[in-house]
Structure 1
Amino acid sequence: MVELIYPDKPRPGDRVAVLSPSSGLPGLLPLPFELGLRRLTEDFGLVPVEYPTTRKMGVSAAARAADLHAAFADPTITAVLSSIGGDDQLTVLPHLDAELLRANPKPFFGFSDNTNLLAYLWNLGIVGFHGGAVMVQFGRAGAMHPVTAESVHAALFTPGEFALTEVTSYGDTDRDWSDPATFAVEPVMDACEGWSWRNADRVVEGRSWGGNLEVLSWMLMADRAIQPSDTYAGGVLLLETSEELPSADEVYRILRSMGERGLLGQFPAALVGRAKTSSIDVRNSPGQRAAYREDQRDAVLRAFEEYAPDTMITFDVDFGHTDPQVVMPYGGFVRVDGPARAITVTY
């Protein structure tokens, strides 16, 4: 197992980098980005610092890597936050200077396509933080969700344990980020049930690994930031899917490939994020959304029954693409207590 360290945390008043290692969407959609920057300053007391590619679309992978190097190497920067995800951060990884990053460990916050960089930092022995994108969580319409804000604040500033809580409502409807009216009202929230469990007869504590399932599949195909399977033995697997709404068949096939590789069987516990069931382009009905969630859950269960039948699984943990989102330490400790139906993370 790779030896992992928690980087020192920022303090209010510190300068933090805001980067776009995947997509420069802040340049196309400035409203949620500017709102997120304002909340970083006003609500969290931090000083956001942008870099040359933060608001630029179509820049090279080498240029985005250079921004990462500059942010990590700058001794006045105490944390690095992604603006949003994308779909090609995989191409940035070959341009990264591993020794520079290893010598300057800092908390990195991001999810979705940022699974690439989180896994890369994991390989260097640096705990990252899955969640907390500037445009999405900080730039949420109306106000930051209180569950998200509490988790982000704890992950940013407070070392130690943090107990996750189940929610009774969640958001799954994307709205137009180019329309100022979007940000004048709170997002629509729907009633939901809490977590559900499989094999909840034990307590597992281990280092986390995983992230967005679609991105993990790309990483596995390209053999980027992936260690031999037994490196992850005893860990807690994190899995969540995106607004691209992969079919149940695709979810099963990706997990089947991970099973064939010997990955699934390494994890005595897995946490599965609440499935996103709609997008800005796909407006599913309540019935279609419920069916999609059930089909995805069945696909996950089918793969684990075939490759890791003893793994404890908790479904509908709110760390993915739905709202609210809790931050998960990536490479940090996660305690999954089946008998108590409790999940505790260490920030």
Structure 2
Amino acid sequence: MTTPSYPPKPAPGDRIAVISPSAGLPGLFPRPYELGLERLREEFGLEPVEYPTTRRMGATPQERADDIHAAFADPGVRAVIASIGGEDQITVLPLLDRELLRADPKPFFGWSDNTNLLAFLYNSGVVGYHGASVMCELGRPGAMHPLTADSLRAALFTSGPYELRPAERWNDVSGDWADPATFAAEPGSRPGAGWSWVNADRVVEGRSWGGNLEILSWLLMADREIARDPAAYDGGVLLLETSEELPSATEVFRILRNMGERGLLRRFPALLMARAKSWSFERPNGPEEAARYAAEQRAAVERALRAYAPDTLAVFDVDFGHTDPQLVVPYGGTIRVDGPARRITVTY
């Protein structure tokens, strides 16, 4: 497996491709999308470039693959960002031209279902960035969260170390994008309790890999973009987060158990587990239900680690998943997890 390397960074004034490798939700919800484009222009100084399927629901996997190819092949485009996630990007992977994507490597930003493309780039030798989408983070009502904006700006334009910070307040309750009132003010928030550390008596520094847990389970089932030899991940930092579908603690444990049985979990001496999203439109949990859900998920993760990777340094409630704020973390890049100092430093 090729060791991923960092692609060149864009500069203010450059063009950035905006693609929808999963779902063309900008066509259904233009308000957060247009707001995100406006912030790319005005706050980051980048010029968004759209493609045929960026705003189109129901695009075929081949049409979405064509847009990915066009974005990476255009020498005038210096970065690529997903509009949002979805649930069928795995169907696009077999259609991608690996040599084309690494001929002119570019920073790609996305998360959730975009774990597919991040894993593909990882295996193509290109560092990607887990985090930031046009509709969610850039199109956040009221304003971008300062922690999100700062980490995205650093990931886009700078190279070198960047220390992550725990969010003092956070949120996982979403407004209805179809309701203009949603965009009249910033979302509410609740106090954060900082990160929670397990086996924090050591320092681990390694290449990151992982992403959304449910998507990883699909990649494992389809036997795509997962190394046949688990030793390929030796010494790495595992990134895991769960989605708004709120997988049960039982499902989380079973996915991790299967990764353990494959020999994957023990390869990573450090795990960063994102703060669990505990609310959805389908399951609008109150505070007590939400806290119980998050606690049960953490217990499931710890149970799997005890069985398959008992020495792993684990950090829980890191803000890089489906909650707000969202920190951008490199995918295939270097992350340093300092247990004694309780510090996490990524390299952009």
TM more than 0.5? yes
Residue matched to 2:111: 111
Residue matched to 1:313: 314
1:177 paired with 2:181, answer no
Partner Cα distance (2:295, 2:70) in 1: 44
Residue matched to 1:231: 232
Partner Cα distance (1:287, 1:150) in 2: 32
Residue matched to 2:343: 342
Question: 1:51-87 CA deviation, whole Å, 9 max, x = no partner?
Answer: 0000001110000000000000000000000000000
Partner Cα distance (2:279, 2:215) in 1: 19
Residue matched to 1:295: 296
Per the TM alignment, residue 167 of structure 1 is displaced from its structure 2 partner at its CA by: 1.4
**SS of equivalent to 2:324:** coil
The AA in structure 1 aligned to 2:11 is R
In the alignment, structure 2 segments of 5+ residues that lack a partner are none
Aligned residues: 347
Per the TM alignment, residue 319 of structure 1 is displaced from its structure 2 partner at its CA by: 0.2
The AA in structure 2 aligned to 1:87 is E
**SS of equivalent to 1:10:** coil
Partner Cα distance (2:265, 2:282) in 1: 32
Aligned runs of 1:213-228 on 2, under 5 Å? Answer: 213-227=213-227, 228=229
Q: Percent identical across equivalent pairs?
A: 66
The AA in structure 1 aligned to 2:6 is Y
The AA in structure 1 aligned to 2:77 is I
Question: 1:203-229 CA deviation, whole Å, 9 max, x = no partner?
Answer: 000000000000000000001111121
Residue matched to 1:65: 65
Per the TM alignment, residue 102 of structure 1 is displaced from its structure 2 partner at its CA by: 1.4
Residue matched to 1:88: 88
Partner Cα distance (1:167, 1:7) in 2: 29
Partner Cα distance (2:180, 2:79) in 1: 29
Residue matched to 2:121: 121
Per the TM alignment, residue 191 of structure 1 is displaced from its structure 2 partner at its CA by: 1.1
Residue matched to 1:27: 27
Kept in 2, the 8 Å contact 1:170–1:191? The answer is yes
**SS of equivalent to 1:48:** strand
**SS of equivalent to 1:26:** helix
Aligned runs of 1:1-347 on 2, under 5 Å? Answer: 2-227=2-227, 228-347=229-348
Partner Cα distance (1:331, 1:301) in 2: 24
Partner Cα distance (1:222, 1:4) in 2: 23
Q: Pick which of 143-152 and 177-186 moved more.
A: 177-186
Partner Cα distance (2:4, 2:319) in 1: 24
Partner Cα distance (1:102, 1:13) in 2: 23
In the alignment, structure 1 segments of 5+ residues that lack a partner are none
**SS of equivalent to 1:140:** coil
Q: Pick which of 273-282 and 236-245 moved more.
A: 273-282
- TM-score (structure 2 length as normaliser): 0.99
Per the TM alignment, residue 155 of structure 1 is displaced from its structure 2 partner at its CA by: 0.3
Question: 1:110-129 CA deviation, whole Å, 9 max, x = no partner?
Answer: 00000000000000110000
Partner Cα distance (1:246, 1:325) in 2: 20
Question: 1:268-296 CA deviation, whole Å, 9 max, x = no partner?
Answer: 00000000000122210110001001000
